[in-house]
Amino acid sequence: MVDTASRTTPTTTGGRPATAPPKPARDEVAAPVPAPRADAQPSSPRVDVERLGRQLLGTWADIRIVARERAAQPDLQRIEGQSMEEHRERVLWQLKTLAAQGAVLKAFPKELGGDDDHGGNIAAFEELVLADPSLQIKSGVQWGLFGAAVLHLGTESHHRTFLPDIMSMKVPGAFAMTETGHGSDVAAIGTTATYDEAKQQFVIDTPFRGAWKDYLGNAAVHGTAAVVFAQLTTKGVNHGVHAFYVPLRNAKGGFLEGIGGEDDGLKGGLNGIDNGRLHFTNVRVPRENLLNRYGSVAEDGTYSSPIASPGRRFFTMLGTLVQGRVSLDGAATSAAAMGLTIAITYGNQRRQFNAASDTEEEVLLDYQRHQRRLIPKLATTYAQVFAHDEFLVKFDAVFSGKADTDDDRQDLETIAAALKPLSTWHALETLQEAREATGGAGFLAENRIVGLRQDLDVYVTFEGDNNVLLQLVAKRLLTDFSKQFANADAGAMARYVVQQTADRAYHGTGLRRLAQTIADFGSTARSVSELRDENSQRQILTDRVETMIAEIAGRLRDARKLPKADAAAAFNRNQNELIEAARAHAELLQWEAFTRGLAQTTDLGTKQVLTWVRDLFGLGLIEKHLAWYLIHGRLSPQRAQAVTAYIDRLIERLRPHAQDLVDAFGYRPEHLRAKIATGVEQERQDEARAYYAAQRAAGTLPAPEKSKK
């Protein structure tokens, strides 16, 4: 079903990714007791930070490097503390700057000055999150939604007529799909577009308050046009949701006749974007303003479409706009990586308590709990980096036409619906943990984490609520499950979907034998050895997906024979498990992508460390779901204990490499803009240690009271 197969990465050129600057030299008195680093342990593998950093940049490495240089420009970065109005105007000016620099052309047709480079476009766009998430999202509204809707849903005449001004920012625009009353359920939107044969116009209406278009970027102030999604009716027949190009404002900024709106006002984040509401009353647009790649209306009102099925037509139209989910997956992963870089860098320098010494305080990252808080999240972020690059390759193949069948598009939509929820949830969890792990310093705006946390909050809602998206994934898994029984060869791309019976994955892959071995011999060492095995991890993770889908499918097998209300009730009773199965499927996609990325790593030291990181990610998934594995008899109690024990061992092994692993993300101080990640904390610690060392050397340090008792 979903293909994330490995591929040959194109040869690229360019310099190493930027990493943190070298630490300042210190005199002998001030020199701290260093945190254990790999280079201090001769037997420990070493990470080649430069080569790993290049690998993490992915297929479009050179484009990302250029985009990061752009994001490092102060003019494109957020100014903390600006008012909402100031922030909005700054981001608008920044969009015009990007357009003037030609930075937004990659995805547009070559005949209009673009590059037809869809993957490269998303790769560059995602890096704007380093400068300001508001800039990234408002850019996405303008060119990734508004412009992309015209590009992918319109025809050549629409491209020639509308795209040049969209590309240049002469026409800022809104993407008017979401309504106050309908967000993720686009098929049920209330806005109507009724064809008037006499005047050859469509009449756009929002017939009730719930049909108002809402939460739209560029709608409150800046937008002068919009792509409006509405139910198309002609000759008394509703042909479903279609898109229309609709002018909104005149040259002075006032709404055109029949159009009104409101400002959504201050939000929990992303306040550089002027989100707002729009409503339409008897607003007329020419017949030609229907973006008619997938559905046309002739002058006499006759409707035609190259796709006969209304349902398939609807999903095809929405599928052309999947790039929003692609970019959110990448941007959320970058935000998590930034938060971890700040927190781990600080944790390697900040000292607290002196449990192991009478004179030296401990580095925070030397505490096991601190490691447990951050290093597993680092492993998940690495998994997401590798999964996202494969996702982006798949997206580029579909949109470039290299792999553009119905199956390819369905696979892309399913991958998007699977990965975007996990990465956006992970970003919020990671930024919160990074904030707490940096104490009061992390709560200061100057250290960036709280601002990123606020801005990334709504990513879990953008482009589809995460739980709704996972439900779509689960439905696809169930569909493929049923196809497997109809035709044993169907859906061969989905290795992880059940192929014959619900028990096959467990009883046919040796998992019972492995579990029995542990039960018979009672060997923790053997448990750990088998858990380290790549195939064992794959089997354990795959089995969970297969079994969950098989169990749900068994319960729903007869639901289609029931009356509609009863069938809906049956589905609803299984909704939570469906979403959990989809999440397990998405986690498996990430593990598989990480494993393929690991196979492409050539430096032996880096490969060893990355193997530990991959194992930490995989075993972390098993630990998170231990109750399921125990209840279903997939793991013995002793093996379950071994999972947690080995995770602790992996974290201990990875601790010396933590700084190298975040340095490989390639973020420079001008990207992070977090004072505590610049070395200033190390300077403070050195100053304090030098002060006490000098007092001890001079014999002037007061003796503690309890030493006199």
Quick one: tokens of 643? 């999972």
Residue 549 clears pLDDT 60, i.e. is over it: yes
pLDDT tens per residue, range 634-661: 888 888 888 999 999 999 999 999 999 9
C-alpha 16/C-alpha 612 separation (Å) is 24
Residue 31 clears pLDDT 80, i.e. is over it: no
Residue 142 clears pLDDT 70, i.e. is over it: yes
pLDDT band for 467, please (50, 70, 90 cuts): very high
Number of folded domains that form the chain: 1
C-alpha 261/C-alpha 259 separation (Å) is 7
Residue 39 clears pLDDT 60, i.e. is over it: no
Going by the DSSP 8-state scheme, the letter that residue 352 receives in this structure is: E
**What's the pLDDT at 239?**
97
pLDDT tens per residue, range 321-335: 798 999 999 999 999
**What's the pLDDT at 518?**
35
C-alpha 315/C-alpha 321 separation (Å) is 10
Query: Vertex 329, ends 428 and 478: CA angle to 5°?
Result: 105
- Residue 534 falls within a domain, yes or no? yes
Q: Across residues 5-24, what is the average pLDDT? A: 38
pLDDT band for 54, please (50, 70, 90 cuts): very high
Residue 308 clears pLDDT 90, i.e. is over it: yes
State the DSSP H helix or E strand holding residue 215, giving kind and residue range, or none if neither.
strand 213-216
Which of 47-51, 158-162, 644-648 shows the lowest per-residue confidence on average (mean pLDDT)?
Answer: 644-648
pLDDT band for 525, please (50, 70, 90 cuts): low
Least Cα distance to 232 among 290, 150, 174 occurs for 290
Strand ranges inside 342-404, DSSP E: 351-352, 362-363
- Residue 256 falls within a domain, yes or no? no
* pLDDT greater at residue 45 or residue 526: 45
**What's the pLDDT at 42?**
53
- Residue 632 falls within a domain, yes or no? yes
Q: How far is CA 385 from CA 48, 331, 336, 468, 564, in A?
A: 18, 10, 10, 23, 42
Which of 251-255, 523-527, 575-579 shows the lowest per-residue confidence on average (mean pLDDT)?
Answer: 523-527
Quick one: tokens of 432? 């919160």
- Non-local CB neighbours of 153 within 8 Å, separated by 6+ positions: 227, 243, 291, 293, 294, 317, 320
Please state, for a pLDDT cut of 70, what percent of the chain lies above it. 87
Q: Across residues 572-600, what is the average pLDDT? A: 94
Q: How much is the pTM?
A: 0.88
Residue 516 clears pLDDT 70, i.e. is over it: no
- Non-local CB neighbours of 243 within 8 Å, separated by 6+ positions: 149, 153, 227, 228, 229, 290, 291, 317
List the domain range (segments joined by +) for residue 545.
486-656
- Residue 332 falls within a domain, yes or no? no
Residue 12 clears pLDDT 80, i.e. is over it: no
- Non-local CB neighbours of 116 within 8 Å, separated by 6+ positions: 107, 108, 109, 110, 400
Residue 499 clears pLDDT 70, i.e. is over it: no
User: Residue 617 maps to which CATH number?
Assistant: 1.20.140.10
Q: Across residues 254-269, what is the average pLDDT? A: 97
- Residue 308 falls within a domain, yes or no? no
pLDDT band for 480, please (50, 70, 90 cuts): confident
pLDDT band for 41, please (50, 70, 90 cuts): low
* pLDDT greater at residue 616 or residue 477: 616
Quick one: tokens of 679? 């070395």
Q: Across residues 620-631, what is the average pLDDT? A: 94
Which runs of consecutive H residues, i.e. helices, occur in 487-603?
A: 504-507, 511-521, 524-532, 534-556, 564-573, 575-599
